[in-house]
Amino acid sequence: MPTLSPRESGWIEVICGGMFSGKTEELIRRLRRAQIARQHVGIFKPKIDSRYSEDFIVSHTQLKIESQLVETSEEILEKAKYSEVVGIDEAQFFDDSLIAVCKQLAKQKKRVIVAGLDKDYRGEPFGPIPALLSEAEYITKTLAICVICGNPANYTQRLTQDTEQVVIGEKDIYEARCRNCFESPNKP
């Protein structure tokens, strides 16, 4: 049986963790390497998150790479038709149809790299990320540093009283916390 090369096979990579853990930086690093290798790269993010830019994925440290806004995950299928590598940031904001989209892209022999929060502000599984973890060939779990004690932080502490699952923000609304310093809010 012949050995498969990356161009003869597709797969899914998931980069997950809490806020401020470097997920977007890692996504950008992988996508830049693919661009340097002259691979055709399609980069997408959900329309709901245009905090820093509508035309770029931007990390909290201001690293950026050009991207396209999409309303739904299904749009990615059409827009990534000629891409060899597909990058998707803030995947937790998509609905569960993202899972089928990523599987279809991988079946089309594309490398699919997805980044997103695996847990919401309550510490519960967030959006399609848990299901994507079960589909992924490669998983990278990133950790931040707890702002209270300095231990590895796997949780995102919301600092406001908002009870909606999705509240777009950054350091003004969220902090990285470890398991011991995380204060779970009452469930709505």
Tell me how far apart the terminal alpha carbons of the chain are, to the nearest angstrom. Answer: 54
Residue with tokens 């709505």: 188
List pLDDT tens digits, range 30-50.
Answer: 999 999 999 999 999 999 866
- According to DSSP, the residues that pair with 11 across neighbouring strands are 111
128 assigned to some structural domain: yes
Q: Which is more confident, 8 or 118? A: 118
SS3 content of the chain, % helix, strand, coil (to 5): 25, 30, 50
Decide: helix, strand or coil at residue 130.
helix
169 assigned to some structural domain: no
* pLDDT value at residue 53: 67
Helix (H) or strand (E) holding 145: strand 144-145
**How far apart (Å, rounded) are the C-alpha atoms in residues 8 and 169?**
40
129 assigned to some structural domain: yes
14 assigned to some structural domain: yes
DSSP string, 73-110: THHHHHHTTT-SEEEE-SGGGS-THHHHHHHHHHHTT-
* Predicted confidence (pLDDT) at residue 3 exceeds the cutoff of 60: no
30 assigned to some structural domain: yes
* Predicted confidence (pLDDT) at residue 4 exceeds the cutoff of 70: no
16 assigned to some structural domain: yes
**What is the domain range of residue 16?**
6-143
List pLDDT tens digits, range 83-109.
Answer: 999 999 999 999 999 999 999 999 999
Q: Are 89 and 44 in contact (CB under 8 A)?
A: yes
Residues with catalytic function: 90
Residue 187 pLDDT level (bands cut at 50, 70, 90): low
Which pair of structure tokens corresponds to residue 60?
């909290």
Minimum mean pLDDT among 69-83, 110-124, 171-185: which range?
Answer: 171-185
62 assigned to some structural domain: yes
Domain count within the chain: 1
Q: Are 112 and 141 in contact (CB under 8 A)?
A: no
CATH number reported for the structural domain that contains residue 84 in this entry: 3.40.50.300
Decide: helix, strand or coil at residue 34.
helix
Residue 6 pLDDT level (bands cut at 50, 70, 90): low
165 assigned to some structural domain: no
